[in-house]
Structure 1
Amino acid sequence: MAFLDNLIGADGEIRLYKFDGKSLPAPIFNYDYDKNSTKVCFLDLETTGLDKKEDKIIELAVKVAAIDKQSGELIGILDEYQSFEDPKEPINEKATRVNGITNEMVQDQSIDWEAVSAILNQADIIVAHNAAFDRAFMDRYLPISQDKVWACSFNDIDWENRGFNSRGQEPLCIWHGFYFDSHRAMSDVDALIHLVTHDTYVTDKPIMELIDNASKPVYKISAIGSPYETKDALKAREYSWNGEDRYWWKNINLDEVENEKEWLSEIVYGGSFQGTVLEIVITDKYK
């Protein structure tokens, strides 16, 4: 494990505290923060399962935070909303074991999607810890989501470079000295805000790295027609398999494109690059 140095006492013990969000600033609704802040909507969903096309949202939480553009300090909370949603079908036991949400808890409950749309509309970016998952559901439910800039605190922060060997939200929070009631939407949102604005970071707060990366396009490089025997090398290099169209791919930054093409040329194609590189604009990231 990679606990922050200041968490380790003189006796070698590490003391964790439970974070319940109460220390975050209280929302100041309709307050007009100046141009020196970035408005970040932190979002979390609980769903009936992992199928992005078929499963349904059963809980949503959003909280818009004003982040100082120069320091990354949390200035204040602009808006928030949370609600259950009745999926109109039984919640399977596996989902309930993960998030603790039962059929009785969601019965006759509904999300006010007009209110959620208004909250998302005021944000500069939307952040989730697994943005590809949450965005897939939100794009189905709410048209405004499809046009917003999404960022991912799992992928858009180089946690390994910061000394952590896991990018999961729960271990990251523990390594920063706190734990929380995970897999409940607002609890996850509050913990994520606390994590990326953590006061241990005097400079270079994780939220600053995330906001910076949110403004950059990414490039999808695809190993079209790669020989079967290269699959292990591609997998080891963190390519993902597109089972529908049957090719390996991954997203990279602009400064990585030429090196990646060279690697594919040598290891996969035996001399010349035969894949494709597609720029993904910032509003299409994590779709």
Structure 2
Amino acid sequence: MTPMQEQPGLWLQNDLLGLAAPEPAAATAPEATPAQAPASPPVPSAPQAPQTPIEPPRPVPISLPACAGRPQRTLPRGPESLLILDTETTGLSTLQGQCIEVGAILFHVPHRAVLTQVSFLLPCPANAAEAINGIPAAVTRLEQPRQEALACFLAMAAACDALVAHNAAFDRQWFGLGPLPSLDRPWICSMEDIRWPAERQLRSSPSVRDLALAYGVPVWAAHRALTDCIYLAQVFERCDDLEALLLGALEPRSLYRAELPYAERHRAREAGFRWNEAVPRAWSRRLSRREAEGLPFPVQLVADPIPADGLAHSA
């Protein structure tokens, strides 16, 4: 550390001012005698400029050395904008039907605010799921600005950091087919990937209705694309820990099998494992490594029959 230069005291200031003061006039010479030559006439002295007061020197600023050996901590950054989306279809898979409606909401995470929302229909010749989604096939073929709505959806998708859907594995399969574009953002499943707080008393894979009611969101309709998006957006508005939930949802996940005897199978069910689904005749679930290590029973990592690019939480 550079030592601070000592400031002059009062005595030093007075001494400096004394040096700046004009010298006293010389003594008068004795009167010349007649034998002496007359003295030369005195030369008038030039007027002196006024003396500028001397300022004391300013203290030298102190510079602290940088703390060495302590790396800067970088906090993980979650998505700031989400595209919450939902689809309505005529069947359960792309082999059985087609997508006939898309709803989407562009949601800003830090402000917990809806920025833009859109919903549009895609024409279909028939709708075998009309009893479920309530969309007559004839309505999908009515004149409407679907191209403009699709352009709005594309702009919203380009502005988001991540995509959110409830049961994202189902909704994701329709994009990249027909008029719907492929989406190159990370997917988050609000049913499988987000670990909702235990105090909400939800099942490990809650429905949209149960999730909305757990957060005090009124359920007033069902099975239209934009309606389910509104429910999710209003749930997110009420989440104080939304950033942490989203970061946890984006962790890489692998397929694990529960290693429990038959008599304790209820423990696997309570932890969200499913019987005979991804792994034949076994309780299995996709978990992050952190989640697998935190389970109260042993698990075994197994080969995932679904490729990594087909998982709902991967990009």
Query: What TM-score bracket applies, with the shorter chain setting the length?
Result: 0.5 to 0.7
- State yes or no: 1:129 paired with 2:166: yes
Give secondary structure in 1 for the equivalent of 2:256.
Answer: strand
The answer for the alignment partner of 1:21 in structure 2 is: none
Alpha carbons of structure 1 residues 165 and 184: separation in structure 2 relative to 1, 3 Å: same
> Could you state the TM-score of these two structures normalised by the residue count of structure 2?
0.59
CA shift, 1:76, in A, is 4.5
Letter in 2 for 1:99: N
> Could you state the TM-score of these two structures normalised by the residue count of structure 1?
0.63
The answer for the alignment partner of 1:74 in structure 2 is: 112
Q: Is the contact made by 1:149 and 1:214 (CA closer than 8 Å) also made in structure 2?
A: no
Between structure 1 and structure 2, the one with the greater Rg is 2
Alpha carbons of structure 1 residues 53 and 252: separation in structure 2 relative to 1, 3 Å: farther
Q: Is the contact made by 1:91 and 1:102 (CA closer than 8 Å) also made in structure 2?
A: yes
In structure 1, distance between residues paired with 2:134 and 2:311: 32
The answer for the alignment partner of 2:132 in structure 1 is: 98
Gaps of 5+ in 2: 1-76
Alpha carbons of structure 1 residues 157 and 286: separation in structure 2 relative to 1, 3 Å: closer
More helix by share: 1
Alpha carbons of structure 1 residues 160 and 214: separation in structure 2 relative to 1, 3 Å: closer
In structure 2, distance between residues paired with 1:44 and 1:195: 15
More strand by share: 1
Q: Is the contact made by 1:219 and 1:278 (CA closer than 8 Å) also made in structure 2?
A: no
The answer for the alignment partner of 1:60 in structure 2 is: 102
In structure 1, distance between residues paired with 2:98 and 2:112: 32
The answer for the alignment partner of 2:189 in structure 1 is: 152
1:259-270 maps to which residues of 2 (within 5 A)? 263-264=298-299
In structure 1, distance between residues paired with 2:78 and 2:276: 41
Letter in 2 for 1:74: R
CA shift, 1:101, in A, is 0.6
Alpha carbons of structure 1 residues 54 and 210: separation in structure 2 relative to 1, 3 Å: farther
- Percent of paired sites with the same residue: 21
In structure 2, distance between residues paired with 1:64 and 1:124: 10
Q: Deviations over 1:161-217 (max 9, x none)?
A: 13223411112223414123211111211121011212xx5x32xx32442124311
Alpha carbons of structure 1 residues 222 and 193: separation in structure 2 relative to 1, 3 Å: same
How many residue pairs match? The answer is 226
Give secondary structure in 2 for the equivalent of 1:144.
Answer: coil
Q: Is the contact made by 2:78 and 2:243 (CA closer than 8 Å) also made in structure 1?
A: no
Q: Which has the higher contact order (CA 8 A, sep 6+)?
A: 1
In structure 2, distance between residues paired with 1:259 and 1:36: 22
Q: Deviations over 1:201-249 (max 9, x none)?
A: 5x32xx32442124311122368xx9xx97x959746145458x95754
The answer for the alignment partner of 1:216 in structure 2 is: 251
Give secondary structure in 1 for the equivalent of 2:230.
Answer: helix
Gaps of 5+ in 1: 1-34, 265-272
Alpha carbons of structure 1 residues 163 and 257: separation in structure 2 relative to 1, 3 Å: closer
The answer for the alignment partner of 1:184 in structure 2 is: 224
- State yes or no: 1:107 paired with 2:107: no
CA shift, 1:108, in A, is 5.0
Q: Is the contact made by 2:105 and 2:114 (CA closer than 8 Å) also made in structure 1?
A: no
